[in-house]
Amino acid sequence: MTPRFLLLLLAPVVGALIAVQAAANAALSKALGGNVPFASLSLIAVAGAAMLLAIILSGARPPSAVAFSTAPPWAYVGGVIVAFYVVAITFLAPRLGVGAAITLVVTGQILGGMLVDHFGLLRSTAFPVTAPRLVGAGLMVIGAFLALRR
């Protein structure tokens, strides 16, 4: 198998795990009496511990303080976005259903990704929006609408 093929297999597996994560987050929140912020903080703490273990097992050396300081301040907004996502999906999944919540999140990711690509935002490589990509995004919006129907 080629490395590209393995990457193409990894992406949908990760996507499927996001749905499992949403259901698990909602279950934890329910067990904690519906306390979404505390459930989210607990999940982020577990994620931090898992990353610390991965760092230890990989033997990776920590970057220097200078390396961290050379990153633009906006590059750290990803941490805030991760926290917001965990809180939002923990809140949304039990209210909309995991499938509908994930469909809406993925639709937002596609639309946002197309904007980032088209304008090359945040120093990313620019990939212009094309007619086929617009059709694909439109189909996602329609799919999200259909996923919300019961």
Positive or negative: CA dihedral 28, 31, 36, 42: negative
Per-residue pLDDT of the chain (150 residues; tens, 9 = 90+): 899 999 999 988 998 999 999 999 999 999 999 999 999 999 999 999 999 999 999 999 999 999 999 999 999 999 999 999 999 999 999 999 898 899 889 889 999 999 999 999 998 999 999 999 999 999 988 988 887 887
**What pLDDT, on the 0 to 100 scale, is given for residue 148?**
80
Query: What is the structure's pLDDT at 37?
Result: 95
Q: Residue 129: what pLDDT?
A: 94
Measured distance CA(52)–CA(72) in Å, rounded: 24
Output the 3-class SS for 86-127: HHHHHHHHHHHCHHHHHHHHHHHHHHHHHHHHHHCHHHCCCC
Q: How far is CA 32 from each of CA 49, 83, 89, 144, rounded to the nearest angstrom?
A: 20, 18, 16, 30
Residue pLDDT, tens place only, 11-20: 889 989 999 9
Domain ranges in the chain? 1-92, 97-150
Instruction: Please tell me the predicted confidence (pLDDT) of residue 1.
Output: 82
The pLDDT, as a whole number, for residue 69 is 93
Residue 36 CA to residue 79 CA, distance in Å, equals 18
